[in-house]
Copies of this chain bind each other. A is one copy, B any other.
Amino acid sequence: MTVKKETLDSYRQFYHDQLMQDCIPFWMKSDLIDRVNGGYITSVDRTGRSYNNDKSVWFQGRCLWTFSALINRYGNRQECLDAAKIGKDFMEKFCTDDDGRMFFTVTVDGEPLRKRRYMYSESFYVMGMAEYGLATGDKDAIKKAEDRYELMLRLFHTPESDPFKITPKGYAKTRNDRVCAVPMVMLSCAQVLRRCDPAKADYYTKITREMANVIFSFHYKPELHCVLECVGNDGSRIDTPAGRCVNPGHSIENAWFLMNEAIYSKDKELLSKALNILNWSLECGWDETFGGILYFVDVDKRPCEQLEWDMKLWWVHNEALIATLMAYGLTKDEKYFKWFERLHVYAFGHFADKEYGDWYGYLHRDGTVSHTQKGSLWKGPFHHPRCLMNCEELLQQLARGEEIVPIL
């Protein structure tokens, strides 16, 4: 059975309205955009007022991405351009250290607070600058995104070339592990760059293939029906809570990055593996008791260490909405649309703040709200507006009976 056009149209309108009449207005009226110092303050409470002026470098890049993506999808709105520019300028001026590596947090006026070993700040810089370059035709921004991505690639291939000589976190001689998040961000950044700089599409496609291979070679475990976040350097299992940890939301996000790649490269085998990841993650992550997707699961059903393992996080559900809709579009298998609808009911029923707008970020396992704030150093206008934009686009393609095209 195919889902009716009216159903698809009605969902499409809903996602559009949630984006334009709920999510974006909430953030535009909030303390997000710092018109005094530049940059973005994401730690805002339920009503949008700042409770922490420290700035997340991840979110300087992520918000820049969101405002730029809004321009790319909905046209050149001055409000979004201004908002993007304020973040871009701040990020360029204050968020990169002299050695070329980026900070993790800075003060309201751009003094460095913390610099971490990971290259996630860089990854969001790349996404933000590339999307901004596409939105504005700013070739310099594209160039900067690509240069920063080259740094990430170099760190990926030769970690010892990292100019930031931070003390290693653990003893690699004792236990040398690798985490799935790294090839994942390498993959999604390359996909964004490919779209924003089509002249270099072949170059980035070589990289996306490499990163997909890394994920499948080391983290994809058909015998366990999961993606392991952290494995030995050779992909072997580590029998600790970290080594047994499955992050269903992360895997689901990964699944749609990989589906997106399968669409781009018309690769049926890749699609089938990406769908496996989605299927396994929904299966192991869905909470049959209370609904919603668990944050962490132990692949052997041993105890999880994280205090927050059974909480329900907003972004997990954003990623699952995108992934199930994309899977439906690609397979027309109704089970995915049923998942989409189940997730839709859970997510909008539990995360949406009907009074002040936008979504809460964190629920207890039983679905009650544990944190009333709308933002933090880890939550801001990124996953939710990206989900609303992507779902609108996918629903439009579906309603028109078109083939699903890449969205990343």
Q: A residues within 8 Å of B by Cβ?
A: 43, 45-46, 51-54, 107, 111-115, 165-167, 169-171, 174-175, 239-241, 302-305, 307-311, 362, 364-366, 370-373, 376-377
Contact = CB atoms under 8 A, between A and B. Distances in A.
B240 A52 contact: yes
Contacts of A365: 364, 370
B45 A303 contact: yes
A307 B305 contact: no
Contacts of A111: 171, 174
B171 A113 contact: yes
A52 B241 contact: yes
Nearest to A244: B51
Q: Is the interface of A mostly helix, strand, loop or mixed?
A: loop
A307 B362 contact: yes
Given A113-B171, A305-B377, 11 more contacts: A51-B241, A51-B302, A53-B240, A111-B174, A115-B171, A303-B371, A303-B373, A303-B376, A307-B370, A310-B370, A364-B364
B302 A45 contact: yes
Contacts of A309: 370-371
A165 B167 CA distance: 8
Nearest to A304: B371
Contacts of A51: 241, 302-303
A177 to B, nearest CB: 11
A305 B112 contact: no
Given A51-B241, A364-B365, A376 B175 contact: no
A303 B372 contact: yes
Contacts of A304: 371
A167 B166 contact: yes
B308 A171 contact: no
26 contacts: A43-B241, A43-B305, A51-B241, A51-B303, A52-B241, A107-B175, A111-B171, A111-B174, A112-B171, A112-B174, A113-B170, A113-B171, A113-B175, A114-B171, A115-B171, A165-B167, A167-B167, A303-B373, A303-B376, A307-B311, A307-B362, A307-B370, A309-B370, A364-B364, A365-B370, A366-B366
